[in-house]
Amino acid sequence: MTRCAHLDPAQGHVKNVAPRTPDGCEECLKKGDRWVHLRLCLECGHVGCCDSSKNKHATKHFHATKHPIMRSFEPGENWGWCYIDEIQVNVSR
């Protein structure tokens, strides 16, 4: 399995963040839109919708900020993703 250097604490990309909008996708909530699944940016706490959602706000957040690591914000899911390395990563809540 490929190791993701962005998980290294010295890189500062994975923090103990609080979700900025715990009730849903930040942008979709502002627009009154819907989402399929949610993702949490582990650098700043942004909550965005997944790529199965029409707006893909989690990926748009990565492109705007270059924050590389997100994790699923769905109950019972413990996986994450590195946008730069394009690999699934293990992250704990």
Residue type, 77: E
Residue 9 pLDDT class (50, 70, 90 cuts): confident
Fold entry, domain 18-90: Herpes Virus-1 (3.30.40)
Q: Domain coordinates of the chain in residue numbers?
A: 18-90
Inter-residue long-range contacts of 28-35, CB under 8 Å, 24+ positions, other chains counted? 28/53, 28/55, 28/57
Residue 2 pLDDT class (50, 70, 90 cuts): low
Supply the pTM of this predicted model: 0.93
The mean per-residue pLDDT over the stretch 52-73 comes to 97
